[in-house]
């Protein structure tokens, strides 16, 4: 018990004893002195007043003691609460991950926390008593600090990004808040600075900015940065009245490598190509990866087409060397499109677009070459756009037609089947050649929708022929690589067969060799599912792709179709003769039918018959025609 509490207790006890003594004494004296009851009552009342006055005096002094005691208790409670708050603040101050620095009004550091030591690398004893400018990095000029002190003077706080230096000498970014602390008189007594290391944030921002403008695989500039640099190069060329050129490079048959060896090998090949291009083209060039297997090279200060053509040829030669990738020795060629400023284009968008048109021309010419942009290419590109637009409308307005070309048994000359071929009856241009719109349909993706429509029409027509008593062994329908690669092909075929009621054995689906071999595992699964429906499968254009005999052996096909390019040279061309004989022998050894297309002369039919080719079609047997015009009785004789 404290002194104050003991004094208060003594005062209360003394008051109680005096009160009892006073009451006993006065009552005895009054009873012994007064006999008259009236007088006794009067003096007892007087005694009560005196006792009340005496009590008031005693209570006044005791109250003072009690209030003093109570005030001391409240003060102790406040003191304990303040101490607890200080303890909690000290824990927070020392445990926070932000660095905290406290300086006096003159700027001398009086206190720092543990985080500041960890962030800056300075121990506490090297910091206390010194000024915060010990951390200056030298990256900010006097104006920066003048603005900081002005903000502290006017508003009492400042916050912003600042670069400081660690003890190791490393310069790093901080986000810092400084606040002035005033005393009871409004005078600044201390400054408190709280900061966090934002190096990780800065690094993330830098990496994000790099990814926005660079390809993550090859680390080359991407299309966005390449376009920006092209615009800058054109602006410089206009000021200096000089030219520049753009090469658009596309790797030939890259998809085969990607699908056969896997995307990891494909990515490594792309990186190797990027490294090779970057080594060849030095200062004055921008090499970029524009997407997929397409690269771009910007040649500044190049006004001559011949100079750009020479560089394009250098690219082609560069690609001829083998690439050693993951224990594989790979070979790949490229096609290059060239566009030159200012003769071919007036802005970056036109330059890129025209180079793309030239690239398309190079690929159409057989790949592994380069092509220069010409005005005719722009007209051709515009024509392709118009055809694609008209083709979409043709699907909606039923302008497409299905023609049928007869297929004959070479042994008997009997018509045993037909191939369904699409034709386009344009309302203004008449019958459009398939060579004009099929490549555009493939490029735009419309070919899959066209194939589905032809499949349905051919199955309905075959049902009508069967109902009319026409004896045909099959109707063949071409399936493009786009539709063949889609998982919904199985559902489409099964739905069409169910809707039309056609016997699946009367339907033959033809798939190109390249479509089968591009992604052989997926193709194998697709073919087995289709074969389970009961229909027939044939490989079209056989000999033009990159067939693997092992893969071919695994595929559930019943027929190989010899491409018309090999039939055209029969029987004079020795190379065509050798190829056709080899394909027939291969098919026979595997128990497959052989079907030759493009037969236009009796000599070709005779040669194929002599080497036991089973089926044939071509203009000599009959051209593609509408269903109602087919001549079922025509059976041309192949004379020995």
What is the DSSP secondary-structure string of 487-552?
THHHHHHHHHHHHH---GGGEEEEEEHHHHHHTHHHHHHHHHHHHTTT-EEEEEEETSS---HHHH
- In this structure, whether the domain defined by 214-373 belongs to CATH 1.25.40.20 is answered with no
Lay out the sheet containing 188-197: strands in order across.
109-112, 99-104, 188-197, 171-182, 157-165
Burial class (CB in 10 A: 0-12, 13-18, 19+), 611: middle
CA distance 392 to 380: 18
Question: Rounded to whole angstroms, how far apart are CA atoms 157 and 150?
Answer: 9
Boundaries of every domain in the chain: 3-92, 96-203, 214-373, 407-420+447-628
Could you read off the pLDDT of 483-501 as tens digits, one per residue?
Answer: 887 888 999 999 999 999 9
What tens digit of pLDDT does each residue of 371-389 get? 888 766 556 666 777 788 8
Q: How far apart are CA 295 and CA 248, in angstroms?
A: 6
Distance between CA atoms of residues 527 and 204, nearest Å: 48
What 152-160 contacts at long range (C-beta under 8 Å, 24+ apart), as own/partner pairs, is 152/178, 152/180, 152/191, 156/180, 156/182
Work out the pLDDT band at 541, boundaries 50, 70, 90.
confident
Round to whole Å and give the CA distance between 512 and 543: 10
**Is the pLDDT assigned to residue 52 strictly greater than 70?**
no
pLDDT reported for residue 239: 84
At the second CATH level, the architecture of 407-420+447-628 is Alpha-Beta Barrel (3.20)
Q: What is the pLDDT of residue 624?
A: 94
Q: Which pTM value belongs to this model?
A: 0.51
Percent of the chain with pLDDT over 90: 31
What confidence score (pLDDT) does residue 249 get? 92
Two tokens, residue 135 = 């951390």
Q: Say if residue 29's pLDDT is above 80.
A: no
- Residue 638, token pair as written in the block: 């192949």
105-115: b (≥16 Cβ within 10 Å) or e: eeeebebbbeb
Residues facing 291 on adjacent strands = 294
Question: How far is the C-alpha of 529 from the C-alpha of 506, rounded, in Å?
Answer: 17
Which residues, at least 6 apart from 280, have a Cβ–Cβ distance to it below 8 Å?
A: 314, 315, 318
Looking at residues 576-593, what average pLDDT do you find?
90
Length of the chain as a residue count: 640
* Alpha carbon distance 232, 236 (integer Å): 6
Residue 364 backbone dihedrals phi, psi, to 5 degrees: -65, -25
User: With bands split at pLDDT 50, 70 and 90, how would you rate the model's confidence at 258?
Assistant: confident
Phi, psi of 254 (to 5 degrees): -65, -30
How is domain 96-203 classified at the CATH fold level?
A: Beta-Lactamase (3.30.450)
Question: C-alpha angle with apex 625: 619 to 628, nearest 5 degrees?
Answer: 135
Residue 189: its H or E element: strand 188-197
CA distance 215 to 270: 11
Across 47-56, average pLDDT: 55
What is the predicted pLDDT for the residue at 68? 54
pLDDT value at position 56? 56
Rounded to whole angstroms, what are the CA distances from 251 to 254, 289, 485, 491, 580? 6, 12, 21, 34, 31
Query: What percentage of the chain's residues is helix, strand, coil (to nearest 5)?
Result: 55, 20, 25
pLDDT of residue 501: 95
In what helix (H) or strand (E) does residue 107 lie, and over which residues does it extend?
none
Q: Given the structure tokens 């045993």, which residue do they identify?
A: 416
Residue 218 has pLDDT above 70, yes or no: yes
Crossing angle, helix 488-500 and helix 446-467, to 10 degrees? 30
């Amino acid at each position: 018990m404290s002194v104050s509490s003991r004094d208060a207790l003594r005062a209360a006890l003394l008051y109680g004893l005096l009160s009892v003594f006073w009451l006993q004494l006065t009552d005895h004296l009054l009873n012994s002195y007064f006999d008259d009851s009236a007088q006794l009552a009067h003096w007892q009342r007087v005694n009560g007043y005196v006792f009340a006055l005496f009590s008031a005096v005693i209570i006044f002094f005791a109250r003072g003691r009690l209030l003093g005691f109570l005030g001391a208790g409240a003060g102790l409670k406040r003191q304990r609460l303040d101490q607890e708050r200080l303890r909690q603040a000290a824990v927070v101050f020392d445990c926070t991950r932000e660095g905290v620095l406290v300086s006096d009004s003159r700027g001398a550091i009086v206190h720092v926390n543990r985080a500041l030591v960890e962030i800056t690398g300075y121990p506490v004893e090297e910091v206390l008593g010194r000024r915060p400018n010990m951390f200056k990095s030298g990256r900010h000029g006097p104006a920066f600090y003048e603005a900081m002190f002005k903000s502290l003077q006017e508003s009492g706080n400042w916050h912003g990004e600042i670069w400081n230096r660690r003890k190791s000498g490393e310069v790093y970014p901080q986000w810092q808040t400084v606040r002035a602390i005033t005393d009871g008189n409004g005078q600044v007594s201390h400054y408190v600075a709280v900061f966090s290391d934002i190096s990780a944030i800065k690094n993330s921002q830098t990496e994000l900015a790099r990814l926005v403008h660079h390809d993550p695989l090859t680390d080359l500039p991407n299309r966005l940065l390449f376009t920006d640099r092209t615009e800058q190069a054109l602006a410089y060329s206009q000021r200096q009245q000089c030219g520049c050129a753009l090469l658009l490079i596309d790797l030939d048959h890259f998809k085969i490598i990607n699908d056969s060896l896997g995307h990891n090998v494909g990515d490594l090949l792309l990186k190797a190509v990027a490294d090779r291009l970057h080594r060849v083209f030095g200062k004055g060039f921008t090499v970029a990866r524009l997407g997929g297997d397409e690269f771009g090279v910007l040649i500044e200060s190049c006004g001559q087409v011949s100079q750009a053509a020479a560089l394009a040829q250098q690219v082609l030669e560069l690609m001829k060397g083998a690439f050693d990738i993951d224990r594989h020795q790979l070979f790949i060629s490229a096609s290059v499109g060239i566009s030159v400023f200012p003769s071919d284009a007036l802005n970056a968008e036109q330059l890129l677009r025209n180079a793309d048109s030239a690239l398309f021309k190079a690929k159409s010419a057989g790949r592994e070459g380069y092509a220069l942009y010409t005005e005719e290419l722009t007209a051709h590109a515009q024509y392709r756009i118009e055809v694609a637009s008209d083709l979409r409308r043709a699907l909606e307005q039923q302008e497409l037609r299905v023609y049928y070309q007869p297929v004959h048994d070479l042994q008997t000359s009997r018509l045993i089947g037909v191939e369904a071929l699409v034709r386009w009856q344009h309302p203004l241009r008449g019958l459009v050649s398939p060579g004009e719109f099929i490549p555009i349909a493939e490029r735009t993706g419309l070919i899959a929708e066209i194939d589905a429509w032809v499949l349905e029409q051919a199955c309905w027509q075959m049902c009508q022929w069967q109902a009319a008593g026409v004896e045909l062994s099959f109707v063949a329908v071409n399936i493009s690589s786009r539709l063949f690669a889609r998982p919904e092909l199985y559902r489409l075929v099964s739905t069409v067969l169910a809707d039309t009621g056609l016997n699946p054995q009367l339907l033959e689906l033809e798939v190109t060799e390249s479509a089968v071999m591009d992604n052989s595992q997926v193709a194998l699964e697709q073919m087995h599912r289709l074969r389970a429906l009961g229909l027939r499968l044939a490989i079209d254009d056989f000999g033009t792709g990159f067939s693997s005999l092992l893969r071919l052996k695994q595929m559930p096909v019943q027929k190989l179709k010899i491409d018309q390019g090999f039939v055209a040279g029969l029987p004079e061309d020795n190379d065509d003769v050798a190829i056709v004989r080899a394909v027939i022998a291969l098919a026979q050894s595997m128990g497959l039918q052989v079907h030759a297309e493009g037969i236009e002369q009796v000599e070709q039919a005779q040669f194929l018959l002599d080497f036991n080719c089973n089926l044939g079609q071509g203009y000599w047997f009959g051209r593609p025609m509408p269903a109602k015009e087919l001549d079922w009785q025509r059976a041309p004789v192949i004379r020995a």
